[in-house]
Structure 1
Amino acid sequence: MNHNTPLSPRPLRHLSDVQLRVLTTAQLRSQGVSTADINAQCRPGGTWQQLLPGVYLLRPGPATSEERLHAVLLYAARSPATEPAVPTQPGAGEPHAPQRYTDAMITGLAALALHRFSSAPPLLSLDRIDVLVPRLRRLRSTGCVRIVRTPGMPEPQQITGIPVAPVPRALADAVADLADAGVVRRLLTEAVRGGHCEPAAVVKELTQARLLSRPHVVDAVDSLLAEGRAIAEDRLYRMVQEHGLPDPVWNVDLRLPGGPHLGGLDAYWPDHAVALELDTRAPRQDEDAMWSEYARKREHLERLGITVVHITPKKLRDSMEQQATVVRTALMASADRDPAAYVVVLPR
């Protein structure tokens, strides 16, 4: 038998070309390949090679990035070879349909490379590939695999048939292993500037991973939040211009005449007594206190007859037209409300 011998007893028609080159011991046995045959093919000078325990590449030479990724997933996934290789229903399981990798997904720097981060190193340059698995799985890191455990698996994104952790989770797993402040900052900045996710989602994952006690991570997060706010403000300007809303006064503080400070606002329409505030809170440990401050300010302004519209950066990004409609409705409704209390508007 050689590497060109067809594996015919149970055709693995649900696998891609790469997956037909990277198979487990169980998959090979299901094709009638004995342990002795496997060992013979993997001897020095043989045409196969063992990439990871129980995972083989059915050709000589260095493994490609895609072959390494599938090998890592085959090693870490829950019993992938037990799934039926042949469709059990007519029309099901077309050739080259993605193989299901249960309870395993690529994360960390490898995932960011798959998400096309320019600041992430190329896949082939990575000595280790992080793979996310449930906390109770009995697996160990070995070879090019680094096992990352989690009590709750996120919903993976499929990229060229590879299950990949969402960007916020992949960032947290990458940052956990990075000590270079510049690299951490570039990755976090690209996540927001490239439109991959909102800062709050990143900070939430970093908080859950208990990484905000590291000074270089905190500094990067501060830059991330500033970057995210600048992007959100730019979207807010575009929303007003592109959707024909009347021009507000931007970035102002409100005060009662001779009285206390009422709070800062991102936009205010004095003739309509409508205020807009971008909710850019990050989910840190003081989130409850920050929300209480937001709520107190909103309640105080509304008692004075000022309508407050809260918009999150995510809503601005995903549904700008809908948010413009919310603002327009508030402006139109001002004619039906009692006049608001007189307030002093100051630049912020």
Structure 2
Amino acid sequence: MKRRLWNADSLFDLSSTGVVTRRQLREAGVSDAAIDGRCAAGGPWQRLLPGVVLLRNGHPSTLERSAAALAYGGPNSMITGCVGLDSFGYGTNGSAGEVHLLLPAEMRRASVSFVRAERTWRLPKPITKGSIRVAPLVRSLVDATRAAKSEARCVALLTEVFQRGGVTIDQVAIELAEGPRRYSALTRRVLRELRDNAHSVAELEDQRLYRTSGLPAMTHNCDIYARSGEFIANTDGWIDSVALAREVDSVTHHLSPADYQRTQARRNRMQAHGLIVVSHSPQDIRDRPTQVLDDLRMNYQHALARPRPDVVMVPRESTG
């Protein structure tokens, strides 16, 4: 019998993730027969992708799947989309789905297993996150939204990155303008709505619901000042004729409980200046729209019946 010239433990030196290519194994002295045998059912290794092996069995982690995708795609490939966003610290749950891989346009690699391979002439300079190459944040974000299955998902992806200051609306607009139009219609439409100052899924839903109320037009995302010039607050919506403020409440739509507490302090200040504030949670807006409309109409009548406080509304500029 031919003596084995390689040591299984030493193979882990080939990769920090335990993901190696078949070529690497051959160069380390592992025969094709040994590779196939160890990757067989019940063996200690597993074949993740064509020509790519994980040096352990069991369910591969997100890191191992990402490393396998890059090994499959070659040295000029990079990860984008939701898994790319995850690497920047955005909780997209990208680990539960496919790994979106960008490849040079001239490279021939098919989508396979958990990898969605996309060839592009617009291959950006990658950013290294640990041992993983990823597309820049704005490209990862736009590619994630292009794959979104619903408007709510698309808005949630965009607003999380916008609210945390990762990229601006203008940067996303430029990326969309320079990229392919295919699969981008939803992202373009949502971005137009966000340019109109709707910064969350809940606010978009609330604005659409309000348009069915029969009440006067509402200005969205504006600043309120006392006549003296003292700043009172910014508000999600405003009916200027009666000084009624509209608020959409949710801890999940702020970045921390401290943000939520600041929202409550702001609301107290608004009420101290005589503003009528109507607030609902995203769940109310989604699940109890009739009750929300009734509350808005009732509070509008209350606001109409009292003297309007001496305050001034200033629309806010679109950010980005």
- TM interval, shorter chain, is 0.5 to 0.7
Closer/same/farther in 2, CA of residues 224 and 168 from structure 1, 3 Å limit: farther
Helix, strand or coil at the partner of 1:154: coil
> Is 1:210 aligned to residue 181 of structure 2?
yes
Give, in whole Å, the separation in 1 of the partners of 2:115 and 2:147: 14
AA aligned to 1:179 is K
> Is 1:194 aligned to residue 167 of structure 2?
no
Question: Could you list the per-position Cα deviations for residues 286-322 of structure 1 after superposition, in whole angstroms to 9, with x for gaps in the alignment?
Answer: xxxxxxxxxxxxxxxxxxxxxxxxxxxxxxxxxxxxx
**Is the contact between residue 105 and residue 165 of structure 1 (CA under 8 Å) also seen in structure 2?**
yes
> Is 1:27 aligned to residue 24 of structure 2?
yes
Give, in whole Å, the separation in 2 of the partners of 1:74 and 1:206: 28
How far has the Cα of 1:217 moved from its partner?
2.6
**Structure 2 partner of 1:108:** 81
**Is the contact between residue 206 and residue 212 of structure 1 (CA under 8 Å) also seen in structure 2?**
no
> Is 1:36 aligned to residue 33 of structure 2?
yes
> Is 1:67 aligned to residue 37 of structure 2?
no
Closer/same/farther in 2, CA of residues 161 and 227 from structure 1, 3 Å limit: farther
**Structure 2 partner of 1:121:** 93
**Structure 2 partner of 1:291:** none
Question: Could you list the per-position Cα deviations for residues 28-59 of structure 1 after superposition, in whole angstroms to 9, with x for gaps in the alignment?
Answer: 01110010110111122211110000001111
How far has the Cα of 1:7 moved from its partner?
3.4
How far has the Cα of 1:159 moved from its partner?
1.1
Closer/same/farther in 2, CA of residues 228 and 158 from structure 1, 3 Å limit: farther
Give, in whole Å, the separation in 2 of the partners of 1:139 and 1:53: 10
**Structure 2 partner of 1:158:** 128
How far has the Cα of 1:213 moved from its partner?
6.7
Match 1:6 to one of 3, 6, 9? 9
Helix, strand or coil at the partner of 1:60: coil
**Is the contact between residue 133 and residue 148 of structure 1 (CA under 8 Å) also seen in structure 2?**
yes
How far has the Cα of 1:194 moved from its partner?
1.1
How far has the Cα of 1:218 moved from its partner?
3.4
Give, in whole Å, the separation in 2 of the partners of 1:212 and 1:107: 15
Match 2:137 to one of 150, 167, 178? 167
AA aligned to 1:75 is Y
Closer/same/farther in 2, CA of residues 136 and 180 from structure 1, 3 Å limit: same
AA aligned to 1:113 is D
Closer/same/farther in 2, CA of residues 28 and 228 from structure 1, 3 Å limit: farther
**Is the contact between residue 107 and residue 170 of structure 1 (CA under 8 Å) also seen in structure 2?**
yes
**Structure 2 partner of 1:90:** none
Structure 1 runs of 4+ with >6 Å offset: none
How far has the Cα of 1:148 moved from its partner?
1.4
Give, in whole Å, the separation in 2 of the partners of 1:211 and 1:36: 44
**Is the contact between residue 198 and residue 228 of structure 1 (CA under 8 Å) also seen in structure 2?**
no
Give, in whole Å, the separation in 1 of the partners of 2:48 and 2:182: 33
Helix, strand or coil at the partner of 1:56: strand
Provide the aligned C-alpha RMSD in A: 3.0
Closer/same/farther in 2, CA of residues 213 and 63 from structure 1, 3 Å limit: closer
**Structure 2 partner of 1:335:** none
Helix, strand or coil at the partner of 1:7: helix
Give, in whole Å, the separation in 2 of the partners of 1:189 and 1:223: 12
How far has the Cα of 1:179 moved from its partner?
3.1
Closer/same/farther in 2, CA of residues 212 and 74 from structure 1, 3 Å limit: closer
Aligned positions, number: 201
Give, in whole Å, the separation in 2 of the partners of 1:162 and 1:223: 34
**Structure 2 partner of 1:56:** 53
Give, in whole Å, the separation in 2 of the partners of 1:209 and 1:115: 24
Alignment of 1:325-340 (within 5 A): none
Give, in whole Å, the separation in 2 of the partners of 1:212 and 1:26: 36
Alignment of 1:221-260 (within 5 A): 221-227=191-197
Give, in whole Å, the separation in 1 of the partners of 2:176 and 2:62: 28
Closer/same/farther in 2, CA of residues 187 and 211 from structure 1, 3 Å limit: farther
How far has the Cα of 1:161 moved from its partner?
1.8
How far has the Cα of 1:122 moved from its partner?
4.2
How far has the Cα of 1:221 moved from its partner?
0.2
Give, in whole Å, the separation in 2 of the partners of 1:153 and 1:221: 23
Helix, strand or coil at the partner of 2:42: coil
**Is the contact between residue 70 and residue 77 of structure 2 (CA under 8 Å) also seen in structure 1?**
yes
Closer/same/farther in 2, CA of residues 211 and 189 from structure 1, 3 Å limit: farther
Give, in whole Å, the separation in 1 of the partners of 2:158 and 2:66: 24
Question: Could you list the per-position Cα deviations for residues 153-180 of structure 1 after superposition, in whole angstroms to 9, with x for gaps in the alignment?
Answer: 1111111221111121112222222230
TM-score of the pair, normalised by structure 1: 0.52
How far has the Cα of 1:152 moved from its partner?
2.4
